[in-house]
Chains A and B, each alone.
Chain A
């Protein structure tokens, strides 16, 4: 009996230790983005493919390069001082001749394959269908803003009579 209680306490301690010390290490850390980027402000001036320039042509949508940004940002255009402070970072990158260090999110599992071109250009699906209201956001997310599951993908594929063959996405 005493032994059982001892074991129980030991397990509880171990559990508590794991919960308090080990597990938090795996807590998803928000990624530091190089600047406070407002999708909303940009979406008012441009379209999705204006900055994600490869979305209609390639599997990857692409994150904007400094060159893409400077195509529009010719000098400081923001009105508010706090926005100008962000915009000035572009000037600094240009002076230092380095790319914008965007922190992209880990992509899909390595056996899952996805093509933006297939969905956005060929099947003409609105970006918001999957990316929800990202166009309304005022800052860049530090964590993935939504979770894609196979069930969720399949629901749409079935509804649209797209391929539900395993090899369409898994190889």
Chain B
């Protein structure tokens, strides 16, 4: 069984936020409004967070794309009373099944990465914007939790295609929307257990680290540090 994971190269990333927008377009994430944004109710499965360091003229700003880490030991799954969120054995994706969600928001509290979002409002797409919604993904109703799914609808499509061509799924068949759009090619995605995959090689780079490693959640999203490195196996 594959175990999908992601590696984000922070040295390549330029903080452009194409991933953030691609994610919204792909997953029918509603845009917010000035009022909702002030209340912190903007939904962003993928967002680029800035970190400021130092003072003028030696200041640094770092940009970090943040999304669901798809933990191997996910606190949100343990706490969910209705199994609306679960760890998929087939893919390693932490998935969210909206009709099962009762909107208790325990998972949003349990998540150490704060990447679970509650639908405080009914999504509003004025005509004719509805025509542009992605029909591969549902529009979530009010009062359910949603989050990054590693574009799980795309794994279904990729499998359908591979099966149709009577072959096994290969590295690169299944791409997430954020990976596909990234102009800097900073995002690599694939099966961490496949020794041939690029994502597996990169995740073992000496540049690699994970968010909140000490929490014991075993995230499947790896980051590569910025700076002058020359790692042979990344070539």
A and B touch in the complex (CB under 8 A): yes
Assign chain B's interface to a size class.
Answer: 20 to 34
Q: What residues on B are CB-neighbors of A170 within 8 Å?
A: 97-99, 138
Q: Known A111-B98, A171-B136; judge A118-B90 contact (CB<8 A).
A: no
Interchain CB contact under 8 A, B138 and A110: yes
- Whole-angstrom CA separation of A167 from B95 in the bound complex: 7
- Whole-angstrom CA separation of A165 from B4 in the bound complex: 15
A123 lies within 8 A of chain B by Cβ = yes
Q: Residues 124-137 of chain B: 1 if any A CB is under 8 Å from the residue's CB, otherwise 0? A: 00000000000011
B89 lies within 8 A of chain A by Cβ = yes
A63 lies within 8 A of chain B by Cβ = no
Assign chain A's interface to a size class.
Answer: 10 to 19
Interchain CB contact under 8 A, B152 and A167: yes
Interchain CB contact under 8 A, B99 and A167: no
Interchain CB contact under 8 A, A171 and B138: yes
Interface centre among A110, A117, A171 (most CB of B within 10 A): A171
B18 lies within 8 A of chain A by Cβ = no
A70 lies within 8 A of chain B by Cβ = no
B217 lies within 8 A of chain A by Cβ = no
Interchain CB contact under 8 A, A110 and B90: no
Q: Can you list 8 pairs linking A and B with CB atoms under 8 Å apart?
A: A113-B156, A118-B163, A163-B159, A166-B95, A167-B97, A170-B97, A171-B138, A171-B152
